Amino acid sequence: MRVHSDDTKSWIDNKIKRDEVTKFLKDNKDFIDDEFIENKITENKNADKKIIEDIIAESLEIKTLSLDQTAYLLNVEDEDIWAMMEDAALKVKKRVYDNRIVTFAPLYMSNLCVNDCLYCGFRKSNNFAKRRVLTKEEVIKETEVLAGEIGHKRLIAVYGEHPKTDIDYMEESIAAIYSIKAKTKHGYGSIRRVNVNAAPLSTSDLKKLHDVGIGTYQVFQETYHHPTYSKVHPEGTIKGDYSWRLYCLHRAMEAGIDDVGLGVLFGLYDWKFEVLGLLSHTLDLESKFGIGAHTISFPRLEPAKDTPFIESSNYKVSDRDFKKLIIVIRLAVPYTGMIITARESAQMRRDALRLGITQTDASTRIGIGAYSDCYAEQEGSRQQFYLGDTRSLDEVIREFAQMGYITSFCTAGYRCGRTGKNIMQLLRSGQEGKFCKLNAVLTFREWLDDFASVETKKTALPVIEKEIEEVKAQMPKVYDDFICYYEKIRDGQRDIYF
């Protein structure tokens, strides 16, 4: 795998392609108007129950809400109305995504970074970080553990911004991940979908990522508030350029990557402002490309070694407000996948599932090389931040089953072209949930037979039986074919999907 020489200054100087930003600007301004958003929060208060009910009705029709509607939701104070909103959020989730939860694992490829973000354990000025870039052989070892021992089918490859992990490294490491066939009880396990969380790239580099076959491309703005963004991302760094980052997902759409993921780091600025920033971003994507955010993530600030800024933040989000913002995002962007990660505690993740979450990670290790090293304790010098939940995939899935959820390992939609505009109408109409119910059952049975503990399999099989009965009642025309596929999976065939 090619690793470029560390001619860092030249690389930084040539990274940003200004013309790939200015073409999106209007009157030399981006689409985030701080004062406009603040005014929306101030103006849209004191909505009565009827107004909120009308807003919820639009969300239940899987329509993206406006900034005004969402601001009304953000400003609700009445606990009974919040309870009504919480109930609606779960109804929206079930209407779009049915009764399934998607799992994945993050794979950190490097902790080298040219940026110096005040809140990040990987920032270049953190002398306590033990710097490392995974070699091709190490990427293969990590993948063999993830696919062959744990049983993941999806992962998100996480890259720092550095010349040693630029587009060539990204292409070759992703290709290495896809190439692995790790031995299991019934043959082999493999990663069927690699999503990417990385720094902004040029359109030409994004086309290369598209060609190597990535799934969702995530670039988190961290904060949409311009003054706060400047404060936490030092001037003169690549990440200090707000608009280069803001329009990266526009460039991704132009490059053919039609599944993109938004996110902010809650705790840098006022959470209500950030929710409206996320909504503004997805509305701008919808207006220009007809496709909004495939996923939205909402990590909170977590402790990191030698990163005192985190403790000094005045905008930390309480558990109560964190649950509120999840509810509001679910209602405001009803079609989007919503990701809660192992940053949060096990209890918070349990609570969040009832608010409309669709994806989460498990068996998570975020130290560089952590899966194959098999170290038991978290090591701050190897990690970007400390995790709140380090339970195994088997434990998490067992808990999901106890709560009545089915865990989906399906990646069929991406291999059948159900992405971007093709999937958007299916999501809005509720049809995608039916495809996914079928494939969720098949892939879940495959995982249970190949990787589950006896206790987890015993807990999960009744959930599968319930889902099969629902397929029979809701989709009788495909039931016979579905049962045929299911029996093939049970008899040892793998990777069968609708």
Residue 107: CATH number of its domain: 3.20.20.70
| CA atoms of 352 and 358, how far apart (whole Å) | 10
How high is the pLDDT of residue 437? 87
Chunk the chain into consecutive blocks of 10 residues (it has 498) and report each block's average pLDDT, rounded to whole numbers.
65 95 95 98 95 97 97 97 97 92 96 93 85 96 96 96 96 97 84 96 98 96 98 95 98 96 98 98 96 96 83 93 98 97 96 95 93 79 84 97 94 59 58 73 95 97 96 92 95 85
- Contact predicate 102/358, CB 8 Å: yes
Is residue 146 a part of any domain in this protein? yes
Neighbours of 141 (CB within 10 A): 17
Q: Which residues contact 252 (CB under 8 A, 6 or more apart)?
A: 206, 217, 219, 260
Nearest alpha carbon to residue 250 among 26, 51, 3: 26
pLDDT at 11: 94
The angle that helices 454-474 and 476-490 make with each other, rounded to 10 degrees, is: 160
Helix ranges restricted to H, 145-247: 167-179, 203-212, 226-232, 242-246
pLDDT of residue 376: 67
In this prediction, residue 4 carries a pLDDT of: 46
Q: Which of 244, 315, 324 is nearest to 23 (CA)?
A: 244
Examine residue 420 and state whether it is found in any structural domain, yes or no: no
Residue 448 lies in a domain: no
Total structural domains in the chain?
A: 1
> What pLDDT shows up at residue 32?
98
The verdict on residue 299 lying in a domain is yes
Provide the token pair at 216: 């969702």
What is the structure's pLDDT at 427? 58
* 154-158 and 193-197 strand pairing: parallel
In a domain, 85, yes or no: no
Residue 296 bridge partners (DSSP): 262, 338
What is the rounded distance in angstroms from the CA atom of residue 208 to the CA atom of residue 214?
Answer: 10
3-state DSSP call for residue 456? helix
Q: Is residue 45 part of a domain?
A: no
d(CA 258, CA 419): 7
CA distance 93 to 354: 9
Cα of 269 vs its chain's centroid, Å: 21
- Kindly state whether residue 74 falls inside one of the protein's structural domains: no
Tens of pLDDT, residues 167-199 = 999 999 999 999 999 888 777 899 999 999 999
Position 434 scores a pLDDT of: 64
| pLDDT at residue 428, rounded to an integer | 60
Asked if residue 290 is part of any domain, the answer here is yes
Q: Which residue reads 């407000």 in tokens?
A: 321
Side-chain-facing half-sphere of 447: CA atoms under 13 Å? 30
- Burial of residue 494, with CB atoms counted within 10 A of its CB: 0-12 exposed, 13-18 middle, 19 or more buried: middle
Orientation angle between helical segments 67-74 and 34-43, nearest 10 degrees: 60
Alpha carbons 248 and 203: distance in angstroms, whole number: 8
Closest CA to 299 of 197, 150, 182, 155: 197
Of the chain, the end-to-end C-alpha distance in Å amounts to: 36
**Domain limits at 340?**
8-28+90-412
Q: Which residues contact 10 (CB under 8 A, 6 or more apart)?
A: none
Q: CA–CA separation, 369 vs 107, rounded Å?
A: 8
Q: Which two tokens stand for residue 455?
A: 């206790």
Residue 280 tokens read as 């503004």
SS3 assignment for 239-253? HHCHHHHHCHHHHHH
Q: Of 202, 193, 199, 205, whose CA–CA distance to 259 is shortest?
A: 193
CA dist., res. 450 & res. 185, Å (int): 6
Reading the block at residue 129, the tokens are: 């970080």
pLDDT at 5: 47
CB-based burial of residue 199 (10 Å sphere; 0-12 exposed, 13-18 middle, 19+ buried)?
buried
DSSP codes of every residue in 287-330: HHHS---SEEE-PBP---TT-THHHH-S-PPPHHHHHHHHHHHH
The predicted pLDDT at position 468 comes to 96
Question: What is the reported pLDDT for 385?
Answer: 82
Of the candidates 290, 295, 407, 335, the residue with the CA atom closest to the CA atom of residue 97: 335
